[in-house]
């Protein structure tokens, strides 16, 4: 089965992570497998200076794979691949893939998360739904931030 | 081309990381592409409590993929896959894959790194070479820790 991919976009203080967390819990409750992607526009600090993984990468190893009994972490350079290529490679077997951010990523359905009308983004792609703290004028489905079940129903039914 | 995979095994104070770092630098100098794997028998701390990636995983997302302009990190549960399966999946296009640790991993050529005879490990697989601080009696090739070029020549020539 091909994964259903949705990107939740909105300003950094729009409450995206909290909302997405609840959506993941609800999807899991409905027995779906879920992967998540976070677009870290300011970068992320995953291996710190002085750590072995950092040293190995600095010396020229790429990728670096860490394997423990419970977890696996793959750290690699972003060789300017399209996000969709990365997502398709790593999430081929998940029912849903929830993306946090990635407002400019092509080929992914966007759901806009806002506090109110003034937060609306200029998106290349029209969002397929809006989740808002206040009512806004829109011709796409509009949800409140606490309507998790309704939002997940909508995601289930989106082709 | 299939990757050449070597696992460097030895006690935690045997200087494996320093040695491997130098080997990676030498391989890179010879224009090989190199991936690295670290077996973290005590686990690793890659995403910390309270971080978004931690929260998303805790809520049930697996894997979690972080994408920034320069880096990509894939964090996932280790669903008791064989290390070789993971390595083959993620390193199919590297000339060399250097493994740190993994003394019990099957199907990987082992190079033993020791300070002296007393450090010798009980390995299921016989090592294909030994790198030692002192001379030891052995019928496999023996290298000093500073003989990086010779070690890399040996790795190049190993089928």
Predicted ipTM? Answer: 0.92
Q: The whole model's pTM is what?
A: 0.91
Determine the pLDDT at residue A1: 61
DSSP state string for chain A: -PPEEEEEE--TTS-HHHHHHHHHHHHHHTT--EEEEEE-TT----S-TTSHHHHHHHTT--SEEEE-SSEEEEEEE--S--HHHHHHHH-TT-SEEEEE--TT-TT-EEEEEESSGGG----SSPPSEEEESS----SS-EE-TT-HHHHHHHHHH--
- Find the mean pLDDT for residues B114-130: 87
How many CB pairs lie under 8 A apart between chains A and B?
A: 193
Determine the pLDDT at residue B150: 98
Cα nearest neighbour of A96 on chain B: B61
Determine the pLDDT at residue A109: 95
Determine the pLDDT at residue B95: 96
Q: Tell me: pLDDT of B12 over 90.
A: no
Q: Cβ–Cβ of A71/B27 closer than 8 Å?
A: no
- Find the mean pLDDT for residues B57-69: 93
Q: What is the mean pLDDT of each run of 10 residues along chain A (159 residues)?
A: 91 88 97 95 76 88 94 90 88 93 91 88 88 92 97 96
Determine the pLDDT at residue B63: 95
Determine the pLDDT at residue B48: 73
Determine the pLDDT at residue A138: 92
B100 CB neighbours in chain A (<8 A) are 52, 56
B42 CB neighbours in chain A (<8 A) are 68
Distance from CA of B66 to the nearest CA of A (A): 5
Determine the pLDDT at residue B6: 97
Q: Tell me: pLDDT of B145 over 90.
A: yes
Confidence of residue B37 (pLDDT cuts 50, 70, 90): very high
- Report the 3 state secondary structure along chain B: CCCEEEEEECCCCCCHHHHHHHHHHHHHHCCCCEEEEEECCCCCCCCCCCCHHHHHHHCCCCCEEEECCCEEEEEEECCCCCHHHHHHHHCCCCCEEEEECCCCCCCCEEEEEECCHHHCCCCCCCCCEEEECCCCCCCCCEECCCCHHHHHHHHHHCC
Determine the pLDDT at residue B45: 75
Q: Cβ–Cβ of A75/B72 closer than 8 Å?
A: yes
Residue B71 has its nearest CB partner, among A34, A65, A78, at A78
Q: Cβ–Cβ of B61/A24 closer than 8 Å?
A: yes
Determine the pLDDT at residue B122: 83
Least confident residue range of A60-69, A93-102, B38-47, B134-143: B38-47
Distance (Å) of CA B52 to CA A64, A85, A111, B59, B60: 22, 23, 19, 11, 13
């Amino acid at each position: 089965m091909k994964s259903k991919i949705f990107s939740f976009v909105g300003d950094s203080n729009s409450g995206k992570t909290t909302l997405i967390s609840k959506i993941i819990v609800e999807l899991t409750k409905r027995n779906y497998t879920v992967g998540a992607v976070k677009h870290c526009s300011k970068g992320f600090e995953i291996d710190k200076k002085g750590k072995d993984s950092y040293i190995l990468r600095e010396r020229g190893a790429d990728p670096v794979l860490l394997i423990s009994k419970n977890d696996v972490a793959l750290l690699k350079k972003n060789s300017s691949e399209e996000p969709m290529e990365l997502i398709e490679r790593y999430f081929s077997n998940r029912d849903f893939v929830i993306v946090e951010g990635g407002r400019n990523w092509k080929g992914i359905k966007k759901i806009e998360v806002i506090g109110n009308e003034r937060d609306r983004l200029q998106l290349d792609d029209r969002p397929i739904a809006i989740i808002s703290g206040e009512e806004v004028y829109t011709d796409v489905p509009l949800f409140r931030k606490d309507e998790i079940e309704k939002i997940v129903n909508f995601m289930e039914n989106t082709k």
